[in-house]
Amino acid sequence: MDFAKLLVSTNRSDRSEFDTLVHRCHRQAYNVAYRLTGNHADAEDLTQESFLRAFRFFDRYNRDMPFENWLFRIMSRVFIDELRKKPKHRSQSLDQPITTGSGGEAEVQLEIPDFEGDPERIVLRAELDDYLQNALLALPEEFRIAVILADIEGLSYEEIAEAMTCSIGTVRSRLHRGRKLLRSKLGVGS
Amino acid sequence: MNCRQVNHLLSAYIDGELPGHDYRAVAKHLANCTDCHSEYHSLVQTKRLLTALRMKQPTGDLASAVIANVHQSGARVKSRQTWSSRGMIFSNMLQAGFLGAGVLFLAGVIYTQSNARQRGISIQWHSSTINNQDRLPDSPLAGQRAFTRVNFPGFGPQQSVSFTFINPVKSSNFASLPSMSQPVTLKPMGSHRTH
Ligand SMILES: [Zn+2]
């Protein structure tokens, strides 16, 4: 009997389901990975490794849960595991002046758009994006994950608790502390 | 609710994650407390900054790269308790069996080689196995230790070789065998040299 052939045929349906999920979720996964790591290369690696583990443990995936949420759970785990292996992540200090792409070395004033106005008309500049990204990178990992899942991905506390395998109370606390830290890094409302 | 209690609940309040009674209590407090309200306002702004972040787009065809990586990695969906998984377990057992046999074989080879290195090469021969006379030494050497230049793969060029004469395996065609009483004459091998 050719067990290799048998395996190929039995895994084929899992594979095609998985491929569909990859097509559906990879952009969202990459976005979260980018916000977590702050650069393209690490974001790509994190996305790849998360999907790889998702496929390896696909039999444990409970279809009642959105695949994205399950993937974020894996990604959070991979992210923390990989961070602990690596030397301390180098991130740009918020105290350093930001350089603009076109304007040379000029220090960029952080402009907080007036969000009381029409949000559709607010254009976030690339510098502001970078500035926010650096503020995110300055957060402790667990706060960062919670804030990204809540405010960038729009997950509920219950979903974040599942993704981070912690209680809803812990999610609430991590988010609150994460936002307060971000606020002080960004100088919002001061 | 006092300011400290309200402060703890502000993020959950903003996210709509408070149960009704807590939500109403915080709302009531915020309407009357400017400190807490400005705290609330700055947290809302922080959240909105993040919410407004543009989605980062991957470069290239990330989906295809992921799919290729997943399927090339040899990663397999772990077994479910179905007939197919039992097949997989069996195949794993087969693989493990082959692997085990391979390891044993390798261990045997290594053991034999290391033994041979220590003791020298031992060649057992008897009259009925002699069919390539060029490759065997003269019978008077049997049972003695000799040195030979014969190169055995995996062994040094000069190692002691002992020849032991043993009784031949019984053959059904005795007529074809030389008589045991007569000495077997062997032509010495061209390259071999004794000391
Ligand atoms: Zn108050």
Q: Domain holding A74: CATH number?
A: 1.10.1740.10
* Residue with more model confidence, B174 or B5: B5
In a domain, A148, yes or no: yes
Of the pLDDT bands very low, low, confident and very high (cuts 50, 70, 90), residue A125 is low
In a domain, B25, yes or no: yes
Confidence check: pLDDT of B146 > 80: no
Tell which residue, B131, B135, B105, B134, has the closest CA to residue B123.
B135
Tell me how close the Cα of A34 comes to any Cα of chain B, in angstroms. 7
- How many angstroms is it from B10 CA to the middle of ligand 1? 11
Four-CA torsion A126, A128, A133, A135, nearest 10 degrees? 160
* Residue with more model confidence, A29 or B175: A29
- How many angstroms is it from A114 CA to the middle of ligand 1? 24
In a domain, B31, yes or no: yes
Domain count, chain A: 2
Tens-digit pLDDT profile for residues B154-183:
444 444 444 444 544 444 444 444 444 444
In a domain, B143, yes or no: yes
- How many angstroms is it from A31 CA to the middle of ligand 1? 37
Which residue range is the domain that position A16 belongs to?
3-85
Of B11, B58, B80, the CB nearest to A30: B58
Tens-digit pLDDT profile for residues B100-114:
666 666 665 555 555
Which residue range is the domain that position B26 belongs to?
3-49
Residues 142-161 of A with CB under 8 A from B: 147-148, 150-152, 154, 156-157
Q: Is this structure's pTM higher than 0.90?
A: no
Q: Are residues A8 and A79 in the same domain?
A: yes
CB contacts, 8 Å: A55 with chain B: 70, 75, 77
In a domain, A108, yes or no: no
Q: Are residues A66 and A140 in the same domain?
A: no
Q: In this structure, what CATH number is given to the domain that contains residue A158?
A: 1.10.10.10
In a domain, B188, yes or no: no
Tell me how close the Cα of A100 comes to any Cα of chain B, in angstroms. 18
In a domain, A74, yes or no: yes
Please, which residues have CB within 8 angstroms of residue A44's CB and are 6 or more apart in sequence?
A30, A33, B58, B62
What average pLDDT does the segment B5-28 reach? 96
In a domain, B12, yes or no: yes
Q: Are residues A7 and A75 in the same domain?
A: yes
Q: Which residues pair with B161 in a beta bridge?
A: B121, B146
Tell which residue, B144, B167, B155, B149, has the closest CA to residue B121.
B155
In a domain, B133, yes or no: yes
In a domain, A105, yes or no: no
In a domain, A17, yes or no: yes
CB contacts, 8 Å: B69 with chain A: 48, 51-52
Question: What pLDDT is stored for residue A90 in this prediction?
Answer: 46
In a domain, B73, yes or no: no
Please, which residues have CB within 8 angstroms of residue B130's CB and are 6 or more apart in sequence?
B136, B184, B186
Within an 8 Å CB–CB cutoff, is residue A140 touching chain B? no
- How many angstroms is it from B32 CA to the middle of ligand 1? 8
In a domain, B57, yes or no: no
What average pLDDT does the segment A103-115 reach? 40
Within an 8 Å CB–CB cutoff, is residue A16 touching chain B? no
As a whole number of angstroms, the distance between CA A159 and CA B10 comes to 19
Within an 8 Å CB–CB cutoff, is residue A21 touching chain B? no
- Asked if the Cβ–Cβ distance from A157 to B63 is below 8 Å, we say no
Domain count, chain B: 2
| Enclosing H/E stretch for B159 | strand B159-165
Within an 8 Å CB–CB cutoff, is residue B97 touching chain A? no
Confidence check: pLDDT of A159 > 90: yes
* Residue with more model confidence, A152 or B98: A152
Residues 65-104 of A with CB under 8 A from B: none
Tell me how close the Cα of A31 comes to any Cα of chain B, in angstroms. 5
Question: What pLDDT is stored for residue A58 in this prediction?
Answer: 92
In a domain, A157, yes or no: yes
Please, which residues have CB within 8 angstroms of residue A48's CB and are 6 or more apart in sequence?
B65, B66, B69
